[in-house]
């Protein structure tokens, strides 16, 4: 039988434990093929009606891959319990698998319930690719009755199959990788107590047989190991790889693999299903060896492994080290796949998150944080520790008073913040708060879209559609407006024609020049817009200025080699705007508007030979602001035979 895979899916970046967040992934066997890590877990699912509800339920296998151990690609289903000739349909017993490569072929080993007889048999699928599709042998491996198959290919190419069931057994495989070569034997020298899930590997001439082990009556599984100078023993028991799960999760199951010079332990835990330990999820932590080859006991972490790009979502609740007063809870107890959030309960609470790579964050980067609080506070992010440089201070304003009153206490808010400092390369983050009692779901550093570039030297031209993109823009003037419905003609004429700063209707300012408007000190910026519509909202945000309830002022210079008569100024704006050419108001767009191309047109105008000064003012209330403007000729075609500068 040849089974094709389902559609690929790309999981969100997730350097934290558990590593797969959209399904349960127990018994994770990891293998390195062609310089990439592949993961072959079993797949816990909720038991359907008619099946035992308090036991393991597994109908199929998926395969995942990753190059960096942080983002994982789901290649889809390898096989289900209804697709193999010898497997009993609807048996829901596709337990821990393995996959190895020999002579260019990939062999997928799995246990399942046979159509005839009791217990488990072990089957094999064969493929030319580690992700399939696999062709499954019609019969199970004769003489191998049990669960949790594992294959070791020795340095000389000899292959060995291990499995569990009434202890742990092993046997040499024939070269075809689908038959035992002789009689299997019990692995001797292992400790007393329940054992299953063998995983064998070789390192520096030492054979390791590792296995889940219940070391005391009534206890739960540890991960333990024995070593030998022979692939089939006898074995010498050495000790623990990982102690029992602290929350009482009964099982653990694992694999150990070297990748890019580091050794990793893959294992499982029921942290996404804390009330039912038959739904498990794959984790990764680093594993180290003593000089004599002994395994140093691994302490499980929630941070996991891998370097987290700063521009991917960083789940702070998967921290490395917490200070006092840090709590972690599910975002949604009804859907645990949404993950967790961390709460800093007082002003002395803190946590650290290691290995964040800032290489892809540019100088205009900023921070997004998904947070909630009961009172206004400030989230503080530093580099490395409490004395490190401050990257950002995120003002968490859940309550406001006055004209724009808000009450977002206890509600998730996605907030943005500018950065005071951007680290270089890979570093650690230290998170704390000014007053405590703030919860963080995630943070993410982002590069700003390039809405603007500093105006280049020399002259510019309108774009192919005639839109004017080079402007001198003034930092926004505070002009509180509760609603855009107040933007009547009379209101606008009064407020647009008011003098806010000296020579506002006559002078052409210089980039960097400052104006004093009441208590504000505002700066002119010479910019080229990357888009035909000039994003005033983004301009204000980029310069860390007020974005709502403001008045924007812009100036540009149109240079004509000859007089251009009978043109119309065509503009659109969000919200209301006024336009002046050479000191005369030529267009007023009133009311609550959305930016629409050529939303309003002036009377016929003449662009005189030489310099023409075009000014605009755009006002908004609780909304975004942008504009677009161009000149059209009598036939409605864009006028483009002029240059633009800001001098």
Catalytic residues: 27, 196
β partners of residue 266? 255, 284
CB atoms within 10 A of CB 118: 7
Rounded CA separation 607/615 (Å)? 14
Rounded CA separation 161/169 (Å)? 8
Strand blocks (E) in 397-505: 399-400, 406-407, 413-418, 426-433, 438-446, 452-454, 470-478
Contact call for residues 96 and 68 (beta carbons, < 8 A): no
* Beta pairing, strands 340-344 & 399-400: unpaired
Q: What φ, ψ does residue 36 adopt, rounded to 5°?
A: -130, 150
Tokens of 464: 């192919």
Quote the distance between the C-alpha of residue 252 and its chain's center.
27
Q: What angle do CA 229, 230, 231 make, to 5 degrees?
A: 130
Contact call for residues 69 and 307 (beta carbons, < 8 A): no
Rounded CA separation 389/544 (Å)? 20
Contact call for residues 514 and 586 (beta carbons, < 8 A): no
Alpha carbons within 13 A on the beta-carbon side of 93:
20
β partners of residue 180? 173
Rounded CA separation 154/18 (Å)? 31
On the question of a cis peptide bond just before residue 234, with omega within 30 degrees of 0, the verdict is yes
* Beta pairing, strands 514-517 & 121-127: unpaired
DSSP state of 173: B
Tokens of 531: 């888009």
The SS3 of residue 374 is coil
Tokens of 98: 């393995």
β partners of residue 173? 180
The phi-psi region of residue 34 (left if phi > 0; otherwise alpha if psi is between -120 and 50; otherwise beta) is left
Contact call for residues 242 and 255 (beta carbons, < 8 A): no
The SS3 of residue 112 is strand
Contact call for residues 529 and 542 (beta carbons, < 8 A): no
């Amino acid at each position: 039988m040849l089974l094709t895979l389902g559609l690929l899916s790309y999981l969100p970046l997730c350097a934290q434990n558990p590593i797969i967040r959209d399904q349960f992934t127990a018994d994770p066997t990891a293998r390195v093929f062609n310089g990439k890590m592949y993961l072959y877990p079993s797949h816990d699912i909720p038991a359907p009606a008619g099946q035992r509800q308090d036991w393991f339920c597994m109908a199929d296998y998926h395969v995942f891959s990753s190059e960096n151990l942080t983002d994982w690609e789901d290649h889809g289903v390898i096989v289900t319990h209804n697709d193999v000739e010898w497997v009993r349909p609807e048996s829901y017993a596709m337990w821990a698998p393995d996959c190895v490569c020999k002579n260019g072929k990939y062999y997928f080993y799995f246990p399942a319930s046979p159509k005839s007889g009791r217990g488990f048999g072990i089957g094999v699928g064969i493929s030319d690719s580690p992700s399939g599709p696999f062709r499954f042998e019609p019969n199970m491996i004769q003489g191998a009755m049990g669960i949790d198959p594992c294959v070791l290919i020795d340095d000389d190419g000899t292959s060995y199959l291990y499995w569990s069931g009434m202890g742990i057994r092993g046997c040499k495989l024939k070269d075809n990788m689908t038959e035992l070569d002789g009689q299997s034997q019990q692995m001797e020298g292992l400790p007393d107590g329940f054992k299953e899930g063998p995983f064998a590997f070789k390192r520096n001439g030492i054979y390791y047989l590792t296995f889940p082990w219940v070391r005391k009556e009534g206890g739960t599984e540890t991960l333990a190991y024995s070593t030998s100078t022979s692939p089939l023993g006898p074995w010498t028991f050495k000790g623990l790889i990982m102690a029992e799960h602290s929350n009482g999760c009964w099982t653990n199951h694992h694999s150990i693999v070297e990748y890019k010079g580091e050794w990793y332990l893959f294992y499982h835990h029921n942290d996404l299903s804390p009330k039912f330990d038959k739904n498990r999820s794959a984790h990764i932590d680093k594993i180290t060896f003593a000089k004599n080859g002994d395994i140093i006991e691994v302490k499980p972490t929630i941070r996991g492994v891998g370097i987290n790009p700063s521009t991917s979502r960083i789940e702070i609740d998967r921290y490395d080290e917490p200070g006092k007063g840090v709590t972690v809870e599910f975002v949604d107890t009804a859907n645990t796949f949404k993950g967790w959030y961390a709460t800093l309960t007082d002003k002395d609470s803190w946590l650290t998150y290691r290995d964040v790579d800032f290489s892809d964050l540019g100088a205009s980067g900023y921070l997004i944080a998904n947070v909630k609080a009961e009172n206004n506070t400030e989230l503080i992010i530093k580099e490395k520790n409490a004395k490190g440089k401050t990257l950002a201070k995120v003002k968490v304003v859940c309550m406001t008073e006055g004209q724009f009153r808000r009450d977002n206490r206890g509600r998730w808010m996605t907030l943005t913040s500018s950065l005071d400092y951007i680290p270089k390369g890979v570093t650690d983050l230290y998170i704390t708060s000014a007053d405590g009692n703030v919860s963080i779901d995630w943070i993410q550093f982002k590069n700003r879209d390039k809405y603007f570039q500093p105006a280049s030297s020399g002259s510019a031209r309108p774009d192919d559609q005639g839109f004017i993109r080079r402007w001198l823009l003034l930092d926004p003037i505070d002009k509180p407006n509760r609603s855009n419905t107040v933007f009547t003609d009379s209101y606008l004429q009064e407020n647009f024609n008011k003098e806010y700063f000296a020579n506002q209707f006559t002078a052409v300012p210089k980039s960097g020049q400052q104006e004093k408007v009441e208590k504000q000190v505002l700066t002119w910026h010479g910019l080229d817009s990357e888009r035909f519509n000039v994003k005033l909202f983004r301009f204000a945000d980029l310069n860390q200025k007020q974005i709502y309830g403001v008045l924007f002022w812009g100036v540009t210079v149109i240079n004509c080699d000859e007089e251009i008569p009978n043109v119309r100024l065509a503009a659109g704006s969000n919200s209301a705007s006024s336009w002046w050419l050479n000191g005369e108001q030529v267009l007023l767009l009133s009311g609550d508007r959305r930016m629409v191309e050529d939303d309003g047109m002036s009377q016929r105008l003449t662009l005189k030979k030489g310099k023409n000064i075009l000014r605009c003012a755009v006002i908004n209330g609780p909304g975004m602001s942008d504009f677009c403007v161009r000149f059209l000729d009598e036939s409605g075609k864009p006028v483009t035979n002029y240059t633009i500068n800001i001098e």
